[in-house]
Chains A and B, each alone.
Chain A
Amino acid sequence: MTRSLNDLRPVYVVGIGWHRYQNPSETPYVALGLTAIRAALADARIEWPAVESTYVAAALLGMASGRPMLRHLGATGAPLMHVENASASGSTAFRHACIEVASGISDVALAIGVDKRNPVRRAETGIGHLAEDAIVPFTHFALLTNEYAVRHNATAEDIALVAVKNHRNGAKNPNAQRQQERTLDEVLGGKRVSGSLTSLQCTPIGEGAAAVIVASEDGIRRLGIDAGRAIRTTASVGRSERVYAPGAGFDAALTKETADLALAQAKVTPGDIDIIELHDAFTVEELHYIESIGLCPEGHGVRMLKDGALDIGGQCAINPSGGLIAMGHPIGPTGIGQIGEIVMQLRGEAGARQHRGARTGLAHMVGVGAVCYVHILQK
């Protein structure tokens, strides 16, 4: 018989840390990563030797980037492994750190995401294509934006409101790459990218780092960690794309089946969720995914957005960090940074971004491939 994460021994996030997401710079990834790890250790109030295992999420750093970074913490000999899973690299690293602790193999594990904006290289499959080289991610999502707008009678202005909200949230986040509020006119008037998407509706790929430390109850007790600030992971699900009905949006279909499994695992309903960090690399995605997760019926996302239901302080705060659009998307760190934001919110330590009374948070990432990861954390 197989078991889900939530059937194993409880696993808690006990430490979170970042290096701010930022535009590409001369700062080596080693410095970015060490800043985030040391912040997470300080947050947990533990020392590096307590970490028994490390998962390094990086998509664009090439082979074996972990050890040249981790050795500067003091070489303890603890195992480390690298996780590359496109945009979901960080989420995947977090999942496997949780599994290792939940299984009893380790009491304390680290997931560290770090990346620099290097060229994406994908191997040839040997199968030809008509013009896939002309369809980069922003054009994939520009096509989905056109479909959503026509099917649900939504305007370009309606969809751009996602960016207005997420820039507003990001303006309050010191770890965000973009920290500036934007009006609807500014969002719509920016550089045109593809279809109706403008640059402020697209994630700015940059660099940065995010780290989380997970621990068992044994580890928390043994190391004297403050259990009152520990946030439990109550669901972890990873999935990959299947064959869907022709023309169905696979990102949304895959999100729905992954989120359904996670909600069942945590034994919660969409109405129980207080905050969601989701993959809003492009504005239309936020509407697709809140509908797929089940916050509202398909096509009703714009109504929730306009009613303020998705704001901090609303029914369910979506991307209180600013999301990929404003906080940024340095690839490896992104999914780990989402977990850090949810932990901060559930602890009540999110300051100006605090969604009051947050008890249940959901983190969602999709990655090219496609893969999808959903985690649920609860106070």
Chain B
Amino acid sequence: MQPSKLLKPELYSAGSGDGDGATARLKGGRCRCGYVFFPMQTYGCERCGSHGDPLTPYELSTNGTLLAEATVHLHADKNRPAPFTIVKVALDDGPVIRTLLADDSARVAPGQRVTGRLVPTTQSESGETVLDHRFSAAS
């Protein structure tokens, strides 16, 4: 198997026992007040303002329900060549996040179940496959 690395390891990890990263886990956080957020940060809780020890890492499942999708036809930033599709997903674990739909995903519509995967994007200079998080229609 080709060596691989994660594009943003501070945000997600490969699901346990899943060496090629087919499923993903998101690195969220949880406050003592009960608020769950993504990504993990220690600046302070948006709901109650607590900071420091009350904020702890909290791993999030990437299973969720699609709230909205939009295929982007125009995008000025050449690092993100259009077209691509953005999805807004309510994670089963609480937070609502927005990111890219995998290019090879089946078409999606609001209400549909989706799941996050780590998919190959580019090659690093040292020849590793770079994996990034994408959502796909749940199989």
Instruction: Report A's interface with B, CB cutoff 8 A.
Output: 126-136, 138-139, 142-147, 150, 191-195, 243, 246-247
User: Would A139 and B72 be within 8 Å (CB), given that A134-B84, A246-B90 are in contact?
Assistant: yes
Partner of A134, one of B67, B68, B96, B100: B100
Partner of A139, one of B8, B86, B109: B86
CB contacts under 8 Å to A, within B36-88, are 39, 41, 43, 46-47, 67-77, 79-80, 84, 86, 88
Please count how many residues in chain B sit with their CB below 8 Å of the partner chain's CB atoms.
37
Partner of B41, one of A127, A132, A139, A143: A127
Q: Let me know if B77 and A194 touch, CB within 8 A.
A: no
Q: Let me know if B70 and A195 touch, CB within 8 A.
A: yes
Partner of B72, one of A150, A194, A247: A194
Q: Let me know if B95 and A130 touch, CB within 8 A.
A: no
Q: Apart from A130-B100, A134-B72, A143-B69, what 15 extra A-B contacts exist at CB < 8 Å?
A: A127-B39, A128-B8, A130-B8, A130-B97, A134-B84, A142-B86, A143-B86, A146-B69, A150-B110, A192-B73, A193-B73, A195-B70, A243-B47, A246-B94, A247-B90
Min distance, Cβ A240 to any Cβ of chain B, angstroms: 12
Pairs A–B under 8 Å by Cβ, sample size 30: A127-B39, A129-B11, A130-B8, A131-B86, A133-B80, A134-B72, A134-B84, A134-B99, A135-B98, A136-B75, A138-B74, A139-B70, A142-B72, A143-B68, A143-B69, A143-B98, A146-B69, A147-B68, A191-B74, A192-B73, A192-B74, A193-B73, A194-B72, A194-B74, A195-B69, A195-B70, A243-B47, A246-B90, A246-B96, A247-B90
> Is the C-beta of B30 less than 8 angstroms from some C-beta in chain A?
no
Partner of B99, one of A127, A131, A193, A195: A131
Instruction: A145 to B69: give the CA distance in the assembly, Å.
Output: 9
